[in-house]
Amino acid sequence: MYFRVMSHKEREAVIEYIKGLPEGRRFDIHVNVFRKKRTIPQNRLYRLWLNSISESTGEDPDKLHDFFKWRFLAPESTNVLGMDYQPTPTTKTLNTEDFSAYMERIRAFVIEFDPTIPLFYPDDKMWDWFEETYSNYLYGKI
* Amino acid, single-letter form, for residue 129: W
Report the C-alpha gap between 129 and 69 in whole angstroms: 27
Report the C-alpha gap between 63 and 82 in whole angstroms: 30
Report the C-alpha gap between 72 and 139 in whole angstroms: 27
Per-residue pLDDT tens over the stretch 22-79: 999 998 888 876 666 777 778 888 888 898 888 888 999 999 999 999 999 977 778 8
Residue 118, preceding peptide bond in cis (omega within 30° of 0)? no
Report the C-alpha gap between 97 and 132 in whole angstroms: 26
- Backbone phi, psi, residue 124, to 5°: -60, 145
Contact 19, 77 (CB under 8 A): no
Give the sign of the dihedral formed by CA 45, CA 101, CA 93, CA 7: negative
Per-residue pLDDT tens over the stretch 63-94: 999 999 999 997 777 888 888 887 778 888 88
- Residue 142: which pLDDT band, with cuts at 50, 70 and 90? very low
